[in-house]
Amino acid sequence: MIAKPAFDLVFRNAVTRSSAAAVDIGIAGGRIAAIAPRLVCEAVEVDLNGRLALPGFVDTHIHLDKACLLGRCGHDHASLSEAIRAVSAMKRDFTVEDVYARGSKVIERAITAGTTRMRTHVEIDPRIGLRGFEAVKALKRDYAWALDLSLCVFPQEGLTNDPGADELLVAALNDGAEAVGGCPYVDSDPNAHIARIFDVAQEFDVDVDLHLDFDLDPSWWHMEEVCRQTERCNYHGRVAIGHATKLSALPPERLKAASTRLAEAGVAVTVLPATDLYLMGRDATHNAPRGLTAAHRLVADGVLCSVATNNVQNPFTPFGDASLLRMANLYANAAHAGIGEFDACLDLVTDLPARLMNLKDYGIAVGNPADIVVLDTDSGTNAIAELPDVLMGFKRGRKTFERQRPTLFRP
Ligand SMILES: O=c1cc[nH]c(=O)[nH]1
């Protein structure tokens, strides 16, 4: 007698993005153990009935430490510098408990919206000290059952111009931060800021993820310096720049040259639609530029890109529900993506951000952790078009949430 394979759980009739027809997915020990058209096995069964299974959304750029601040500051900030100033004033009063409470609210929204991996940027400077970092470290520990949280520390208010920021950054990296970021455009010496971030990254062997080129004037930028430092440090594939809205202001031939440069240096771009659309082009009285870099077109030119959440309900962005599916839909809409490009827009919140974060075990494939979320639709294209409900999620084979389909009460 041939023994039936034993799984802890089997998903029946799952549509995945790589299978032409529905498949069964067998889970054992928290990992994907088998994928086949029909698994004959003994296991708890979840029948997806032809619904789309994804390995979860990957958010490469969110700010948990300064989320959900609107009740505290009203909202009359109309520029990037006003937003930075407003948070700067508030963060002196942030406590570990306060950052934890606001961050957990956003993480729980993200989990139930299908996010399974996330990189949060955390401000480190003499005003907040390491309190924000302590809080997100606790969030990482307490939500590990549902989401892998990675911490990228950065000096939001400058490095060379902010005495004490460097030492605190190094302290956070000594205490487990997994990536280092920066914000050269606020520094009195942007190139020194960039060089120091790369030196620190090399010293701690961590990836770099910068806030960069966040305006619509393409007559100057820091992108070339970042590419140069990436090459100097041999950091191809380990560097990302967030916003890069200047790219949206380039005519096609200059954009092509910029994408060739980014691709050859191995520098990735993260587009943050909610904030980019909200903060850019505000001084225009009509025909306002949207300031949104067309990530899916850069991908077609060989640049690794992601679309991410950035800020949630704070002076940088007064909206937000931490749903990356909604963000990809917003992106597709604002970037004039055609229906034939919707799948590429879904890539921007799934496979591509996983590559940007150098995650080696992401995807619905045998051997990977059983991170699976189920969407109430049947294809990647329809996921972007319909904004379906995310019905349930699993982390390492354990169910983390479930959403009931709405019931209509007909008369
Ligand atoms: O959009 C932005 C820019 C800088 N810092 C942020 O937190 N958000």
Using the mean position of ligand 1's atoms as its centre, give its distance from the Cα of residue 260 in Å: 26
Report, as an integer, the average pLDDT of 348-355.
98
Pinpoint the alpha helices (H) of 358-400: 380-386
Report, as an integer, the average pLDDT of 325-350.
98
Torsions phi, psi for 24 (to 5 deg): -100, 145
Q: Scanning the structure block, which residue is given the tokens 């967030």?
A: 242
> In the predicted model, is pLDDT for residue 75 greater than 70?
no
Cα dist. 62→27, 119, 232, 340, 384 in Å?
30, 7, 28, 28, 21
Band the pLDDT of 20: cuts 50, 70, 90. Answer: confident
Do residues 358 and 237 touch, judged by C-beta distance below 8 A? Answer: yes
Do residues 243 and 277 touch, judged by C-beta distance below 8 A? Answer: no
Percent of the chain scoring above 70 in pLDDT:
99
ipTM of the complex: 0.96
Q: Two tokens at 181? A: 């970021």
Q: In what order do the strands lie in the sheet with 372-375?
A: 52-54, 372-375, 390-395, 398-402
d(CA 41, CA 25): 11
Using the mean position of ligand 1's atoms as its centre, give its distance from the Cα of residue 85 in Å: 11
Q: State the closest ligand 1 atom to the C-alpha of 123, by its place in the atom list counted from 1.
A: 7
Exposed/middle/buried for residue 3 (C-beta within 10 Å: 0-12, 13-18, 19+): exposed
> In the predicted model, is pLDDT for residue 5 greater than 90?
no
378 Cβ contact list (under 8 Å, min separation 6): 15, 50, 51, 52
The pLDDT score that the predictor gives to residue 167 is 98
Give the pLDDT confidence of 124-182 residue by residue, as tens digits: 999 999 999 999 999 999 999 999 999 999 999 999 999 999 999 999 999 999 999 99
User: How many other CB atoms sit within 10 Å of the CB of residue 402?
Assistant: 11
Q: Taken in order 246, 248, 249, 252, is the CA torsion positive or negative?
A: positive
Q: ∠ CA 301-303-307 to the nearest 5 degrees?
A: 115
Any atom of ligand 1 within 6 Å of the Cβ of 63: yes
DSSP string, 45-88: EEE-TT-EEES-EEEEEE-GGG-S-HHHH-S---SHHHHHHHHH
Any atom of ligand 1 within 6 Å of the Cβ of 275: yes
The pLDDT score that the predictor gives to residue 2 is 61
User: How many other CB atoms sit within 10 Å of the CB of residue 267?
Assistant: 27
Band the pLDDT of 349: cuts 50, 70, 90. Answer: very high
List of domains in the chain? 6-55+363-402 (2.30.40.10), 57-356 (3.20.20.140)
> In the predicted model, is pLDDT for residue 1 greater than 60?
no
Best residue among 63, 85, 312 to mutate for probing ligand 1's pocket (most ligand atoms within 8 Å of CB) is: 63
For β-strands 390-395 and 372-375, DSSP reports them as: antiparallel
Do residues 291 and 216 touch, judged by C-beta distance below 8 A? Answer: yes
Any atom of ligand 1 within 6 Å of the Cβ of 355: no
Using the mean position of ligand 1's atoms as its centre, give its distance from the Cα of residue 225 in Å: 20
